[in-house]
Amino acid sequence: MRLKTLTVALSGICLASAVSAADLNKETQAYHQFVIEQIDHLVTDTEKFVDYLKQGNLEKAKVLYPLARMYFERSEPIAESFGDLDPRIDARLADLTEEGKTENDWSGFHKIEKILWEENTTQGTAAIADQLLKDVKELRAKIPTAEVTPELMITGAVDLLNEVSTTKVTGEEEIFSKTDLYDFKANIEGAEKIYEIFKPTLEKKDKALSLDIAEKFAAVNALLAKHNQAKTGFDYVSYDKLSQSDIKALAEAVNKLGEPLAQMGVILEE
């Protein structure tokens, strides 16, 4: 799903400021490399996912579906910048409906999700899977050409939280599979990676802000850990198993993180 900038949290922060106080080239290169690695894993897992679909292995396809998508969700600040590739890979049916399109215009992970969980079969997924793999490989080919700036990274970190607060917390993203918590965790990890890359510079500018961000990431991650059934890796409970108080706690923790994370723009100030 395309990210939408959280303009409220970013208000008052000049993301267009010239970076003169610090050379952040090393940081942008580190983030670029991180995204390349994530998309490499996305390609590998999508290939496995397509194989399971073609083998008719419904259970393995269902297990791998949310795990493969996590690589895409961590990378959206860059991945969503490539024209129509993002919606081809990740659009929900509701996104197309809003644009006046129909299910015939739909492709990608969520179209396969609907078949796997609503129809409980892999039949009818082969052509969709082939196109998905083709699109994912095209994304991988384009990622090295992306221009990564400190502004993109900071805006992207906040956008990832906005993605959580607008579609993950509400359960809109994975409406058929109820695997929203995997996406939730991946978005948080993507934002946290950006914070970790900037952390040494941020601590020099505002150590208290850096500590505040770290504490609020820890709070969100602790809440998510409560719903992870795996000792290692990820095995999140179905989103419809969460209580309203669980969902409220997650939403509040994400909202509390959004404002200080947006203030990370201080590293771009003169």
Nearest CA among 154, 189, 188 for reference residue 263: 154
Confidence of residue 269 (pLDDT cuts 50, 70, 90): confident
Give the start-to-end residue ranges of the domains of the chain. 7-268
Confidence of residue 98 (pLDDT cuts 50, 70, 90): confident
Nearest CA among 30, 262, 68 for reference residue 155: 262
For 197-219, the pLDDT digits (tens) are 999 999 999 999 999 999 999 99
Per-residue pLDDT at 17 exceeds 90: no
pLDDT above 70 as % of the chain: 91
Per-residue pLDDT at 227 exceeds 90: yes
Model pLDDT, residue 15: 41
Question: What pairs with residue 236 in β-bridges?
Answer: 228
- As a CATH number, domain 7-268 is 1.20.1420.20
Q: State pTM to two decimals.
A: 0.90
pLDDT above 90 as % of the chain: 77
Strands (E), the chain: none
Per-residue pLDDT at 240 exceeds 60: yes
User: Do residues 73 and 183 make contact, with C-beta atoms less than 8 angstroms apart?
Assistant: yes
SS3 82: coil
d(C-alpha 203, C-alpha 35), whole Å? 24
Per-residue pLDDT at 170 exceeds 50: yes
Per-residue pLDDT at 252 exceeds 80: yes
Model pLDDT, residue 257: 96
SS3 232: coil
For 52-73, the pLDDT digits (tens) are 999 999 999 999 999 999 999 9
Alpha-carbon distances of 213 from 38, 149, 190, 198, 258, rounded to whole Å: 23, 21, 14, 12, 9
